[in-house]
Amino acid sequence: MSEMWNPILETMALDDLRAYQLDQFREQVEHAKDDSPFYAEKLSGISPDDITSLADVRELPTTTKDELREAQREGDGLYGDLLAEDAESVVSYHQTSGTTGRPVRQADSLPDWEWWTDSWATVLWAQGVRPDDRVFLPFSYSVFVAFWAAHAAAERIGAEVIPGGGMSSAQRVEKIETLDPTVVAVTPTYAFRLAEVAEQEGIDLAETAIETVVCAGEPGASVPSTKDELEALWGADVYDHAGATEAGAWGFACDGDTLGLHFNEARFLVEVLDGDDEPVGPGETGRLVVTPLNRSAQPYVRSELKDRIRLAEESCDCGRTFRVTDGGVLGREDEFRTINGTLLSPRAVEDVVHGYDPVTNEFRVRIEDHPEKDLDTLELRVEADGEYDYDADRIATELDKELKKRTHLSFDVDVSSPGTLDRNELKSDRFTDARTRRTQYEQ
């Protein structure tokens, strides 16, 4: 069996791939402009036939999430002016998780759902999922698209799927133990939580049938120490993947050793841009602007995802021509914060904490104004791991030293006992910025 879900597209010569993408992009723009009232207005001066190069693509305006929210308020029905098909062609409803503002509703037609299934099958196949696998999805899917798409894609591949909604963590661990799934798809946060619950239940996840952990929703599986820790806890290969509710699964890791994501360039036109909206080169960092190709009910043209990535210097040796990132998503634009003039990356803190054994994997960071001086203060809350005979002072001193090395910032480390910090069942919100004079959106 091939290592690729669609070997023709995944290994297409670069010139042909770009021509194919431009062709699909033109068609997408034409459909959006002709059939969605929102894009009819936004792209009114654009003639799709004039788009013959990636430079022409950059002449088109990008689309922000705020615009999507606004467009759904305008017009009729659930999806307002965004909808580009008759309402009766919509077969599935999903929505964004709504962590920032009103959720964006996602309308998909049957061909759109095929598209979602195919993009997720590309991810799962690249990460080794095959017809003889049994895939467990320990999550209440609800109105969130990712796990529904993972479910459909695993079925498409021919694997057997165990839905894991409506169960406690202990019941999910019990399912892993008794039903012998070989693949599990989870957020990194919940992968840690399940490992903790398994330990309480006297089950060693590394001894179960799980061979592959497909991570979604957070970039943890591309953070070196997080990936190492999860691989040890689960005794399995841990893979990263990245996506967005509105755009789809645009990136995936192709093997268990590489800390990078391929763009799925067969299904997306991916741009990585600098502050002047110019494309960045290999080894450089920029923000993602993504156009999903061939979408019908709710198309997006040049969607601003706010994810920052660094393009790898070299191509991947797996044979795919799709470009690859150096590491996964470095963070969202609004997650980077300037503390006392120094840029803090949340990933650097995660990497240090997850790489330091005498504490558990749960942590919180709080940024505040200094009570007297014109300075910011940083507090890191961690939990001592009972298995290590380290006192709180030693942990605080060692962590502060390591963090200073990595971030050039000083942390006030607060050490408490295991289980003090809340556990999250989906994603972690580990950073709180309580400054009243803070600087946001630094790059």
Q: Which is nearer to Zn ion, 256 or 355 (CB)?
A: 256
Select 60 or 253, whichever has its Cβ closest to Zn ion: 253
Min CB(124)–Zn ion separation in Å: 15
Residue span binding Zn ion (CB under 5 A) among the ranges 310-318, 339-347, 395-403, 407-415: 310-318
378 binds Zn ion (CB under 5 A): no
Q: At what angle do helices 346-354 and 224-234 cross, to 10 degrees?
A: 40
Give residue for tokens 């997850």: 354
Looking at beta carbons only, is 40 or 318 nearer to Zn ion?
318
Nearer to Zn ion, 254 or 272 (CB): 254
- Using alpha carbons, select from 48, 56, 6, 4 the residue that is nearest to residue 27: 48
Query: Stretches 42-50, 217-225, 316-324, 362-370: which one binds Zn ion (CB under 5 A)?
Result: 316-324
Shortest Å, Cβ 418 to Zn ion = 38
Query: Is the Cβ of residue 257 or residue 276 nearer to Zn ion in the bound state?
Result: 257
| Choices 2-10, 148-156, 317-325, 355-363; region in contact with Zn ion by CB under 5 A | 317-325
Residue 318 in the binding site for Zn ion (CB under 5 A):
yes
Strand, helix or coil for residue 83: coil
Nearer to Zn ion, 11 or 424 (CB): 11
* Residue 94 vs 320, nearer CB to Zn ion: 320
57 vs 316, which CB is nearer to Zn ion?
Answer: 316
Q: How far is the CB of 74 from Zn ion (least distance, A)?
A: 42
Cβ-Cβ contacts under 8 Å for 353 (sequence gap 6 or more): 359, 361, 363, 380, 382, 399
Please provide the size of the chain in residues: 443
**Angle at Cα 122 formed by Cα 425 and Cα 90, nearest 5°?**
75
**Using an 8 Å Cβ cutoff, are 148 and 176 in contact?**
no
**What is the smallest separation between the CB atom of 126 and Zn ion, expressed in angstroms?**
8
**Which listed range, 136-144, 151-159, 210-218, 308-316, lies at the site for Zn ion (CB under 5 A)?**
308-316
Question: Residue 364: CB partners within 8 Å, gap ≥ 6?
Answer: 380, 381, 421, 430, 431, 432
Could you tell me the two tokens for 302? 């040049």
- Write the interaction track for Zn ion spanning residues 249-288; mark x where CB under 5 A is met and - where it is not: -----x----------------------------------
Q: Cβ 244 to Zn ion, closest distance in Å?
A: 21
The answer to whether 185 and 157 have CB atoms below 8 angstroms apart is no
Give the nearest distance from C-beta 215 to Zn ion in angstroms.
17
* Part of the chain binding Zn ion (CB under 5 A), chosen from 10-18, 265-273, 320-328, 366-374: 320-328
DSSP single-letter state for residue 279: B
Nearer to Zn ion by C-beta: 252 or 356?
Answer: 252
Provide, rounded to whole angstroms, the least separation between the CB of residue 314 and Zn ion: 11
Q: Which of 117, 136, 133 has the alpha carbon at shortest distance from 1?
A: 133
Residue 337 structure tokens: 């914060």
Return the residues of window 59-88 that contact Zn ion according to CB under 5 A. none
Closest separation in Å from C-beta 183 to Zn ion: 19
Number of residues that bind Zn ion (CB under 5 A): 4
CB of 251 to Zn ion, least distance (A): 11
Stretch that binds Zn ion, among 64-72, 247-255, 307-315, 345-353 (CB under 5 A): 247-255
Q: Starting at the edge strand that comes first in sequence, how are the strands of the sheet with 248-252 ordered?
A: 241-244, 248-252, 262-263
User: Which residue, 74 or 314, has its beta carbon nearer to Zn ion?
Assistant: 314
- Find out whether 378 and 370 touch, Cβ atoms under 8 Å: no
Cβ atoms within 10 Å, residue 439: 11
- Could you tell me which of 26, 1, 21, 22 has the C-alpha nearest to residue 9? 21
Q: Rounded to the nearest whole angstrom, what is the least distance from the CB of residue 239 to Zn ion in the complex? A: 11
Closest CA to 281 of 248, 251, 311: 311
Closest by Cα among 147, 205, 156, 215 to 181: 205
Out of 316, 349, 365, 399, point to the residue binding Zn ion (CB under 5 A).
Answer: 316
Q: Give the alpha-carbon dihedral of 64, 263, 25, 275, to 10 degrees.
A: 40
Written as six digits, the tokens of 385 are 């791991």
Position 167 contacts Zn ion (CB under 5 A): no
Tell me the three state secondary structure of residue 149: helix
In the complex, minimum distance from the CB of residue 325 to Zn ion, in angstroms, rounded to a whole number? 11
Shorter beta-carbon distance to Zn ion: residue 4 or 206: 4
Q: What's the min distance (Å) between Cβ of 284 and Zn ion? A: 20
Indicate the Cα dihedral angle 162, 168, 169, 175, nearest 10°. Answer: -40
Residue 230 or 316: the one with the smaller Cβ distance to Zn ion is 316
Residues that bind Zn ion (CB under 5 A): 254, 316, 318, 320
